[in-house]
Amino acid sequence: MNYLVLAYYLFKDIKNPLEAVSQHKAFLKGRDVSSRIYISEQGINGQMSASRLDAIAYMEWLVNQEGFEEVTFKVHSSCENVFPHLTVKYRKQLVAIDREVDLSKRGEYLTPSEWRKALESNEKLLLIDVRNDYETAVGHFKGALLPPCKTFREFNGYADVLSENFAPDTRILMCCTGGIRCEVYSAVLKEKGFEDVSQLKGGIIQYGLDEGIAHWEGKLFVFDERLTIALDEQEESVTVGSCKHCSTLADIYYNCANMDCNDLFLCCKGCAKEHQGCCSDACKSASRLRLFNEESGPKPFRRKGQLLAK
Give residues in contact with Zn ion (CB under 5 A). Answer: 243, 245-246, 256, 258, 261, 263, 268, 271, 279, 283
What residues contact 249, with CB distance under 8 A and at least 6 apart?
Answer: 239, 240, 241, 242, 243, 268
Question: Nearest approach, Cβ of 218 to Zn ion (angstroms)?
Answer: 17
The distance of closest approach from Cβ of residue 305 to Zn ion in the complex, given in angstroms and rounded to an integer, is: 22
Query: Of 23 and 239, which CB lies nearer to Zn ion in the complex structure?
Result: 239
Asked if 225 and 83 touch (Cβ cutoff 8 Å), the reply is yes
Q: Which of 149, 176, 256, 278 is catalytic?
A: 176
Nearer to Zn ion, 164 or 281 (CB): 281
CB of 229 to Zn ion, least distance (A): 22
- The minimum distance between CB 101 and Zn ion, in angstroms, equals 35
- Which of these, 35, 89, 28, lies nearest to 62 by C-alpha position? 28
Question: In one letter, which amino acid is 36?
Answer: R
CB nearer to Zn ion: pick between 82 and 240: 240
Shortest CB 125 distance to Zn ion, Å: 36
Torsion-angle region of residue 9: left (phi > 0), alpha (psi -120 to 50) or beta?
A: beta
**H helical segments located in 107-238:** 112-120, 133-136, 155-165, 180-191, 203-211
Determine the residue type at 14.
I
290: which DSSP letter? P
Active site residue 176: yes
Contact between residue 76 and residue 70 where contact means Cβ atoms under 8 Å apart: no
**86 vs 268, beta carbon nearer Zn ion:** 268
Which of 58/265 has CB closer to Zn ion? 265
CB of 245 to Zn ion, least distance (A): 4
- Dist CA 18 CA 39 (whole Å): 8
For residues 287 and 308, what is the distance between their CA atoms, to the nearest angstrom?
A: 20
CB of 222 to Zn ion, least distance (A): 22
Of 96 and 246, CB closest to Zn ion: 246
Question: What b/e sequence results for 86-119 when a residue is b if at least 16 CB atoms lie within 10 Å of its CB, and e otherwise?
Answer: bbbeebeebbebeeebeeeebbebbebeebbebb
Neighbours of 299 (CB within 10 A): 11
Distance of CA 154 to the CA centre of its chain: 16
16 or 247: whose CB is closer to Zn ion?
A: 247
Q: How far apart are the C-alpha atoms of 116 and 110, rounded to whole Å?
A: 9
Which sequence positions are flagged as catalytic?
A: 176
